[in-house]
Structure 1
Amino acid sequence: MVRILSVDVIRGLLSLSELFPVVEAAFVKQGRGEVERPPRPHFPVGIDVDSVRNGINESNPASESETDSPLGTALTMPAYIHGRDVYATKLAAVHPGNVAQCLPTVNAQVVLTDATTGLPLSLLDGTTITSARTGCIGGLAAEYLASDPIRLGVFGAGTQARWQTRAIAAACDIESVRVYSPSDSREECAADLRDEGIHAEAVESPEKAVSGSNVVVTATTSDDPVFAGELLESGTLVVAVGAYTAEMQELDARTFERAARVFADVPEEVADIGDIQASGLSESDLVPLSDVFEGDAGREADDEILVVESVGSAVLDAATAQYLYEKAKERNVGEDVGL
């Protein structure tokens, strides 16, 4: 039997305060090399439906490669944490155009498998798992590398921007939150956060989001820097979670020039994203975020600008999925089905 954990079940089980130590412990295991985390392939999927509607493909099939464009990116992310009796595989998809259809940009499923027999144990809503564990990266980074009270500037108004804010609020004392997005979605995002008891307001420019903030989060799918690094105030922590390909870039070179250190959840993969490539840095310049949790790295002066870059790790998905599966068994929730 396989236990199905739907989005509603997972949201009923999930506690960010419980998840923080789960994610932190997974980072430590990853930093020590006590995990199996194969390279994650990512590839374009879907075609431009507008070109199909206009009959471009039908009238000139040979032009397909020139006119069609991918609608999204698919990713496969397996991981095993040494000593655990389960492992996980996440199937994820990122479709930026979903925003226009009021659909989530990121969708995912996680399969949890018995590591001793290879039998499937659970199918979980991976979208919430991805959002929550990525949010925990921002929450833990703020806890370890920023000073209370937090004055938070958020770039992006989608699902991940909200989870980053929730997690930082769960980990730290937040004084204010300013949300910027070039679309009107910033107003809805700020209103939703206020409904959750977080004092948030929408602002109309990048300058207003950065000004006065001691933590700046970027959670976008942008191909161009979302703010000027010169705007950052001394002592600011920047948490960038949006870019994951060489074409995507949220931070400009000036941000990295001013940064005392750049931390990365997966240095070898972060080195390949647009942020780092445009900065002139390399993998050797990146400090594993796990070093922070081991006490080997961190903030050394109050006025330092620090950057945390995240592309996501399947190790965190595996740890989060196991936490949720075990809690579901304890509470006897979810639906058991046969395959």
Structure 2
Amino acid sequence: MTSERAPRITPEGGATEPLAPALREDLAEARVQRMWQRIDHAPGRRSGIWLALATAAVVALASFGFSRWLLPPSSGQLALSSGRAPVVLFAEQRAEAPRFDDGSQMTLERGSRVEVLRNDARSFVTALRRGDVTFDVVPGGKRHWVIEAGELSVEVVGTRFRVERQPQATRVSVEHGVVLVRGERVRGGSVRLTAGQSFELLPLEPAEPAPPLAPAPSLAPPAPVASTARAPLTPVDPVARHLTEADDARRRGDAASAARHFEAAWSSAAPGDSRRGLAALSLSRLLGAGNAAKSARVLRSSLTDMPPALREDAQARLVEAESRAGNVAGARQAAEEYRRLFPAGQRLREVERWSEP
């Protein structure tokens, strides 16, 4: 049953949503676009008030076992049965099962966290940051559900399936219906799963270190050296680290620090890494109109790294950034590419407006 005791956070002028995470594997923004539009267009004089509200919201949410960051739903958005649009769902103390207004339901096991990256009349895109979640999607629904789980992307229209994201592996199993699992390390790029089938992706094995070079021979007797035992070093993924730091900064309401870490994650991720695209989109949203030229540059160099579910949003945002930066030719070129890729796109009218001279 849906926990009705969860607080409802509806600050005016926007809301934050931790995207660190979505971004490639642990990352990304996600991220929530309706909420970001509110931030983008909120008057500057409200920024201080919003930061205070965001900080208070985080403190309030932390006191509950199951928390939901919620916003009033916009037209076409999927909402919870309470009538609010979800931004972040996580179950800390025990399993929880929020239900949506279209009859679909998620069951989050203890310690699980899901963030909403996109929510509109056509798509509901989420990122499973950690844990074990069962999705029960009503068949024949009008929305295309996508779940990003590290290197895997699960696409579905109506079914019941389970996604487990643990350090040891990411696993997708289907109870009934059909899902499509995509990923760079999936053979052929994608695999179709039906009832009773499952797919598991193991983490990449760390590369073996090169053998040390033999020291040059010496005629002098060796000097006594004190024994210093050192623990083996554990390799650290800089992209994941920066995304986590960005997520923490966003929750504190520190947009400047979040932007720095998203930029560091974007710079550290290799081309083709989906975290790079998600980090770029998150950074662009934080930069907004204040640094449109940089936003356009980051987006322009990361479009091929975007997860398919966020490609349209990224392309439309590029048109806006180019226009705000005064690059009329760049805005027109980006708009032409948008029309080619999404001839009936949901943001077509917005793209046309930003690409007009």
Q: TM-score, normalised by structure 1?
A: 0.29
Higher normalized contact order (CA 8 Å, seq sep 6+, divided by chain length): 1
Higher helix share: 1
Larger Rg: 2
